[in-house]
Each structure stands twice: as C-alpha cells, then as structure tokens.
C-alpha cells in the first residue's frame, strides 16, 4: 500500500495520541491550545533551543530560562551578558544573540505574530522554526520539516535523490500529507516518529504506525534513505589561550559580539577564530608556561587550543573573576575545558 494523505495523518495521529513524549514545552495530544499568553513564548523558546541540540540537553536550560525570564517581555529586558551566560554550554551561540533580538522585537510589537509569513520576519527565525511555532503555538496548517521529518518522508515515499537536492520533493510530499486539523500535533508526531522509531540506523519498522504504507520498507532497505552527500573532512585549526592569574582570580575577556562565541566571556587568546587558516595574533607579552592543550569540534572545523599560563598584568579590557566561582562565569564549552585544564595544573 502506498502512502496517501488521509491514511498517513490518521495513522500517525492515532499513534501519537498513545505514544507522545511528555516534554515540558508540549501540550498533551489533542488538548485545546493553552489560553496562557506565555504559551507561544514557551513554544518559541523550546524550538530555538532544540535546533541541532538534543532534548536531554535542552530540558535543564529550558527550565532555568523560564525560571529566570518567564515571559517574552522579561527576556526582552534582560541584559545580553546574562542571557549569554545562561546559554553557556548549549552551543551555537548565535541562537542566544538572536534570542534576545527576537524577544525585543516581539515585545515591541505586543506579542508573537500568528502567521508563518510574519514569524519569518522576526530575527533568527528560519523556515522550520516559523512553521513549527505557527503550527504548534497557533494551530495553523504549516509544513514543519526538520531532519527527523526529512528522514521519515524520504523513506515513506522512497525519495532516491540525494540531499540536499531531495529537500524540494521531501517538502512537497510533507505538504501533501500535513492535515488541516491538528497540524501542530502532526508536526510533533512526525518529530517523535523520527527520533524514536524511524531512526537513522536500525529503524524499528515493526513498531511504526506507517510501516504498511512505507515504500522504502517495501523495497527492503529503509535505512538506506535519505541518501546524503559525502561529508567533507573538517579543517584543523590551532590556537592559543592564556591563563592569567592574580590573587585567586583569573583574567577574563568578553568576545566581540559578532563571530564565533560572540558576546561570551572567555579566556584571552591569540585571535585564532578570526583567521581562516587557524593562525592568530602574536602571543600576549609576558613569561609563558605551557599547560597543555584541549580539543574541540565545531560544526565547521576542529580546533586544538594550547593553554599558556602568563605572568604580569594583562592589557586591554576585561575583568578579574574569582577562580572559585569560575563555573558561574558562563564560559562556552571550549574555554570551560581550558579552565578545567588550568585548575587541574594548580593541584
């Protein structure tokens, strides 16, 4: 049996009603949309946090953000540095910068717009996030396509074209099976199916509510789809960061607002992120003691960051931060690794 719109949506929603994940930002399946005016804010916050990040990683951040800034208006009035610090460790820090910009834009207009087109006009909202908010927060019929949905649709319709070229036919097929009623539940059901049943490796076809309609399963090898282009090897970068200590305090700087890890507190470094070839500025003056190196993998490159202890007074703008409170500085993961290395060397 091949897939068609009504059987797909009916079967999937029936499955979702029984197997939906219980998540702190989710409305129960089939329940009326909450009348709480903060509901769109919670949907938006969760969707931004979930971009390229796992549910398990997002849950504690989502809870802390809501406890600190329970409404979009509260977030709009937050200090940028406080938001960046609260985001530290979640990665993809441009999301945090756009989060504040978007909150201020929404507060200025008196609330979230309800249409997909208007949502797209907000800072940092791409096609997926705008569609997800429109469908989940406002019940609009919007076609929500993330990596999980791409996988489900590519297998359901046996779309053989490799990604990224396959995205157009995948979206067309997703459009065809998205129902007018319960579009938000349908979008979340597709996400749940992709994350728990129609997984990248070893899909659990015997448990899938769409198994009888899946063309890739009928062909015998659903895990083969979607076909992805070969990944290019990530370039290797090298850099150097500096541990400058005085009176049980360490010197921290705030990185420029634009660029990698923008707006975050960090250890001073040689400017490695500004150079495409991984080279940086000249070392800071002073006597240096090598402390070792840390490795970190970004989406676009891998980095080996050498850590050097310096003596003397630092130049430029920064702040002395109590070493015993270094965990409260909101350092991004790369510099948190370097700080742990330095602390281990102190004994």
pLDDT digits (tens, 9 = 90+) for 284-335: 555 689 999 999 988 888 999 999 999 878 878 899 999 999 998 889 899 9
By DSSP bridging, strand 302-310 and strand 236-246 are: parallel
Structure tokens at 210: 């769409």
Q: Measuring CA to CA, which residue among 304, 299, 303, 294 is closest to residue 338?
A: 294
Q: Are 174 and 149 in contact (CB under 8 A)?
A: yes
Helix segments in 162-265, DSSP class H? 167-177, 183-196, 215-219
Question: Is 231 part of any domain?
Answer: no
Structure tokens at 310: 């310096």
142 lies in the same domain as 286: no
Question: Is 150 part of any domain?
Answer: yes
151 lies in the same domain as 240: no
Average pLDDT over residues 115-137: 94
**Last residue of a domain, which of 199, 224, 249?**
224
The range of the structural domain enclosing residue 147 comes to: 5-224
Q: How many domains are there within the chain?
A: 2
For residue range 8-57, list pLDDT tens digits in order.
999 999 999 999 999 999 999 999 888 888 999 999 999 999 998 899 99
Question: Is 40 part of any domain?
Answer: yes
201 lies in the same domain as 74: yes
Q: Alpha-carbon distance 248 to 234, whole Å? A: 38
pTM of the model as a whole: 0.80
- Active-site positions? 47
244 lies in the same domain as 160: no
Question: Is 200 part of any domain?
Answer: yes
145 lies in the same domain as 120: yes
Give 132's contacts (C-beta < 8 A, 6+ positions apart).
43, 47, 142, 144, 146, 187
For residue 304, give Cα distances in angstroms to 40, 95, 239, 241, 242: 41, 24, 6, 10, 14
202 lies in the same domain as 243: no
Q: Are 103 and 72 in contact (CB under 8 A)?
A: yes
Q: Alpha-carbon distance 150 to 167, whole Å? A: 8
Question: Is 299 part of any domain?
Answer: yes
121 lies in the same domain as 160: yes
Q: Looking at the predicted structure, is the pLDDT value of residue 278 above 60? A: no
Q: Alpha-carbon distance 236 to 232, whole Å? A: 12
184 lies in the same domain as 306: no
């Amino acid at each position: 049996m091949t897939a068609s719109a009504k059987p797909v949506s009916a079967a999937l929603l029936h499955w979702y009603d029984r197997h939906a994940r219980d998540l702190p930002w989710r409305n129960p399946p089939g329940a009326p949309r909450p009348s709480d005016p903060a509901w769109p804010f919670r949907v938006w916050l969760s969707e931004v946090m979930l971009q390229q990040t796992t549910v398990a990683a997002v849950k504690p951040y989502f809870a802390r953000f809501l406890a600190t800034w329970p409404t979009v208006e509260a977030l709009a009035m937050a200090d940028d540095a406080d938001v960046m610090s609260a985001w530290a460790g979640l990665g993809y820090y441009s999301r945090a910068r756009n989060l504040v910009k978007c909150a201020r834009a929404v507060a200025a207009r008196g609330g979230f717009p309800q249409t997909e087109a208007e949502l797209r006009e907000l800072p940092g909202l791409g096609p997926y996030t705008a569609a997800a908010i429109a469908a989940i927060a406002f019940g609009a019929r919007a076609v929500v396509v993330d990596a999980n949905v791409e996988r489900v649709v590519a297998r359901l319709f046996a779309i053989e074209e490799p990604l990224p070229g396959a995205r157009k036919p995948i979206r067309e097929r997703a459009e065809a099976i998205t129902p007018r009623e319960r579009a938000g539940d349908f979008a979340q059901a597709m996400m749940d199916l992709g994350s728990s049943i129609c997984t990248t490796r070893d899909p659990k076809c015997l448990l899938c509510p769409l198994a009888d309609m899946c063309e890739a399963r009928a062909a015998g090898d659903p895990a083969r789809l979607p076909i992805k282009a070969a990944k290019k090897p990530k370039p290797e970068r090298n850099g150097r960061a500096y541990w400058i200590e005085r009176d049980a305090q360490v010197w921290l700087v705030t990185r420029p607002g634009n660029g990698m890890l923008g707006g975050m507190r960090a250890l001073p470094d040689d400017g490695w992120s500004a150079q495409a070839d991984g080279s940086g500025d000249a070392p800071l003056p002073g006597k240096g003691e090598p402390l070792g190196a840390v490795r970190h993998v970004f989406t676009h490159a891998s980095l080996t960051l050498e850590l050097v202890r310096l003596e003397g007074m630092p130049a430029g703008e920064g702040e002395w931060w109590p070493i015993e409170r270094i965990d409260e500085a909101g350092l991004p993961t790369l510099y948190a690794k370097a700080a742990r290395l330095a602390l281990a060397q102190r004994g």
